[in-house]
Amino acid sequence: MNVGLITIGNELLSGFTTDTNSAWIGQSILEVGAEITWHVTIGDQANKITAVLDQIPEDIKVVLVTGGLGPTHDDITQKTLFEYFGVQPVFDENYWNILNARMVKRVRVMPVINKNQAIRPDKGSVIPNNSGSARGLHLNNDRMDVFAMPGVPREMKDMMSSTIIPWIHDKTKSKIYVRTLRTTGAMESVLAEKMADVTEDTRPVTVAFLPQFTGVDIRLMCPEKNPLIEIEGKIRDKVDKYIYATGTVDLEEIVGDMLSERGYTVATAESCTGGLIGHRLTNVPGSSTYFLGGVISYSNDMKMKTLGVQENTLQEFGAVSKQTATEMAHGARDFFGSDLAIAVTGIAGPGGCTAEKPVGLVYITLVHNDTVWAKKFKFFTDRKLNNRLSSQVALNMVRIHLLNG
């Protein structure tokens, strides 16, 4: 099923708000056999909304609209859609009372401006809002069905999940199986080359590469489940070592699961990444059972004092060296008494580089029992990107080590 999407809001056009709703909507309807084939963003002006409604491509019979349903004067989506579909506004006394009762609970008085939140159409229906006051709308005529939702992500997602996606699924009666294989450690071109035999013919499965900063997601889609499983197997035969997770799971979650399963604890020693690895590990609920802590040692002094890095190591090899990274990892393990420790030292840029040690040079060492795994990387010139990549590689080293160990 082809679905149209209209996002309404001056702030989207002027770029002061980045539209994240549309990507979520695009993904979420794929799985019920529908896809966004046309997406328009316009400002909060009635005539523009009407013009766009008149331009909807022939092959689209279902249109989702987000934004402009709030109580302020900018929010003209409701009024415009009512006029377009020739429906009359009805004041919904019952809902108004519910809204007022909610406000009383919070010891506030409902502003009169909110009265339009209690308007419903005389034909069509409203979509309940479990997270806010503005209800959604479902209006239709012979040409199309339109669903209007607020632009607030939580409210939009709630309406999509509870009402609109089930409605679409009921019409399509179909299901698309989507499987995302998340990889890290190999560039898109490397993966593509390794998988060339498989991707030559994957019918009826479609395969797409989605490159990101810190890895490439391989997305498989198919109306049936079995061919998808078969192609996934063939892909895994070729590039399994790069696949760390499926779906939307992050690397830190996988690493956390692996540590938990094995009953290991981990500690970190971070120089250039400044706490990012610890932050990512602790983003996972329950991480306190395996993450004992970390030291952010930005100065040489602290590398020596806290982590026991030897002064002559720093003098002979420098703070950004394999030797220092390895001593930092040992130091962190001793300091926290953890099973594993991971240490990162590097030159994130833009400053701090020398002829021998360019921006982007990063050393990472993992220690565990007798294992000392030290690696050298040459990343890029962008500070934030280098730190992000360093944290990804460090977590991936933990994953690979646990997988093999």
By the rule CB under 8 A, 162 interacts with a copy of itself: no
By the rule CB under 8 A, 344 interacts with a copy of itself: no
By the rule CB under 8 A, 295 interacts with a copy of itself: yes
- The residues, any chain, with a CB within 8 Å of residue 307's CB and separated by 6 or more, are 269, 295, 297, 327, 328, 330, 331, 332, 335, 343
- Specify whether the CB–CB gap between 244 and 250 falls below 8 A: no
By the rule CB under 8 A, 336 interacts with a copy of itself: yes
Residues 217-236 that bind a copy of itself (CB under 8 A): 217, 219
Q: Which residue in 234, 279, 322, 375 binds a copy of itself (CB under 8 A)?
A: 279
Q: Which residue in 77, 199, 387, 396 binds a copy of itself (CB under 8 A)?
A: 387
By the rule CB under 8 A, 299 interacts with a copy of itself: yes
The string of DSSP codes covering 355-392 is SSS-TTEEEEEEEETTEEEEEEEE--S-HHHHHHHHHH
Q: In the numeric block, which tokens belong to residue 366?
A: 């993992």
By the rule CB under 8 A, 12 interacts with a copy of itself: yes
State the nearest-atom distance from the C-beta of 23 to a copy of itself, in Å: 4
Burial of 218 (0-12, 13-18, 19+ CB in 10 A): buried
* Choice between 55 and 141, CB closer to a copy of itself: 55
What is the sign of the dihedral through the CA atoms of 82, 87, 93 and 95? Answer: negative
How far does Cα 147 stand from its chain's mean position? 25
Q: Which residue in 285, 356, 369, 370 binds a copy of itself (CB under 8 A)?
A: 285
Residues 91-120 that bind a copy of itself (CB under 8 A): none
Residues touching a copy of itself, count (CB under 8 A)? 74
By the rule CB under 8 A, 263 interacts with a copy of itself: no
Stretch that binds a copy of itself, among 158-166, 226-234, 287-295, 365-373 (CB under 8 A): 287-295
By the rule CB under 8 A, 275 interacts with a copy of itself: yes
Q: Which residue in 85, 242, 291, 363 binds a copy of itself (CB under 8 A)?
A: 291
What whole-number distance in Å separates Cα of residue 267 and Cα of residue 341?
Answer: 5
Nearest to 129 by CA among 97, 103, 152, 101: 152
